[in-house]
A and B are shown apart, each in its own frame.
Chain A
Amino acid sequence: MALEKGRINSTGLIMLIFGFAVGSSALAPSGRIAGADAWIAILIGIAEALLIAAVFLLLTKRFPGKTLVEISDIVYGPYLGKIISVIFLWYLFHLGSLVLGNYTGYFSSLFLVRTPPIVLLASIILICVSAAKKGIEVITRCGVIIVSVGLFFYLLTTFFLSKYFEIKYLQPVLTTPAPQLLWAAHGAATFPLAETVAFLMVFPFLNNKRDTVPATFTGIIFTGLVMTGVAVRNTVVLGPSEKAYIYPSFHAITTINIAEIINRVEIVASLFILCMGFLKTAVLLYGVSLGTAQLCSLRSYRPLVVPVAVLMSILALYNFPNPVEFVRFVNNAYPVYALPFQLVIPLLTLIIAVIRKTEQRDGNSEPKGRRPPTESKRR
């Protein structure tokens, strides 16, 4: 595989998945529609996400070492395959712009109020470009460090918050009407857990392909558990006021005030969350660039990273006119909008692959029309 020569190991993948999923969830926690039962919704959502993941994992197992773009080419043939790939890449691209816009909005509205949002956006995207250019291995290595330290810090803040916990705010339990609860669960599944479908562009670079399924499942479950923990923490600290906040995690952490010395830690927490956002955006940027390069049969994806980043930034500014639309999109539209990309495309591809009995065993069947791998200059 000439386009990417790096390799990642399964621990790296798990951490990358975690950082990827937390990257958005920290800013827009899932399941809030279910109120105090959000944690239950998330647990259900984990199950649903695992089911969705099972589909695209089966797909990648069938075609180890191939990204979705390549798989589409094989399964659908050169013309239809490219169309499917474009649709899928659009999803990654759109998702990247959503994350970027989300983080810009978060820091802009809470911390750097007078700074033009473009400056914030540029700061984030620049480092993502640098990371994406260096390849998935570098991104994953960053991920390992960021996630390790970030997790530790998360545990620390939860520990500091424990004196403000009022467990009774979780009660009464399970009083949310079932449709609402299930919709919240579905929301948690599609955002962010099943977004791991994006890793269809990353799985080929796993060292040991047999680790793909366990690593992904571990990643999803682990992320889901942490998300559940965050939901519980926010509910028991903020109580009935939780639903008024745009960023409940922020307000929960702001409460920390140990002996008037350990306080104002929300900025440090936000920095870690920013790092997760960087991970997610970098992975998506990488995925889109790599996919487009494969689509056009290029020898290197690196030249595409900057143009894609520019386009992504532009879209990031034009996603939401105001927070009201953001809420509407996340609660109502996205759980439906995301499904075709997360579930339908992989499912369809899998079904057709089975029907056409197309399989790839250890790279024996090389479809026609592919150039032999060539060296490309490292930037």
Chain B
Amino acid sequence: MVLLLIALFILIILLEIVPLVKDRQWKELAVASVLLAAGFILSVLIMYDIDFPFLAPVISNIMEKWVALPGS
């Protein structure tokens, strides 16, 4: 599965990042690479079963603490 992920990212790099290098769009390359790297790291972490907290319960908890709700 990790191999599949790596293959996917290599594909993305080939299709998206390389043309940026060819066109010398350095700024775009920088931002895109940063974002992509973040995505890659997160996916790998997920692959290795590192539990991430789910976002909605966190937000729900915060909201419920702040506001007393009439919603049933």
Contacts and interface: CB of A to CB of B under 8 A. Distances in A.
Interface of A: 33, 94, 179-180, 182-184, 187, 292-293, 296-300, 303-304, 306-308, 310-311, 314-315, 317-321, 325-326, 328-329, 331-337, 377, 379
Contacts of B39: 307, 310-311, 314
A313 B19 CA distance: 23
A326 B56 CA distance: 7
A32 to B, nearest CB: 11
Contact of A315 (B15, B27, B55, B64): B55
A303 B12 CA distance: 11
Contacts of A335: 71
Q: Per DSSP, are chain B's interface residues mostly helix, strand or loop, or mixed? A: helix
Interface string B46-62: 10000011111101101
Contacts, number: 112
Interface string B11-32: 0100111011001010111011
Interface residues of B, number: 38
Q: Which of A180, A332, A334 has the most CB of B within 10 A?
A: A332
Residue among B23, B38, B57 having the largest count of chain A Cβ atoms under 10 Å: B57
Nearest to A326: B56
A328 B54 CA distance: 13
A329 B57 CA distance: 7
A183 B69 CA distance: 8
B54 A318 contact: yes
Contacts of A303: 16-17, 20, 25, 28-29, 31-32
Given A296-B27, A321-B54, A379-B19, 6 more contacts: A182-B70, A298-B31, A307-B35, A314-B39, A320-B54, A337-B63
A187 B71 CA distance: 10
B67 to A, nearest CB: 6
B28 A307 contact: no
A180 B31 contact: no
Interface of B: 12, 15-17, 19-20, 23, 25, 27-29, 31-32, 35-36, 38-40, 42-43, 46, 52-57, 59-60, 62-64, 66-67, 69-72
Given A307-B39, A311-B39, A311-B42, A336 B63 contact: yes
A174 B69 CA distance: 20
Nearest to B23: A377
A306 B28 CA distance: 12
B71 A319 contact: no
A329 B20 CA distance: 40
Q: Which 7 A-B pairs have CB atoms at the shortest separation, nearest pair first? A: A307-B35, A179-B70, A310-B39, A333-B63, A333-B60, A307-B36, A329-B56
A368 to B, nearest CB: 19
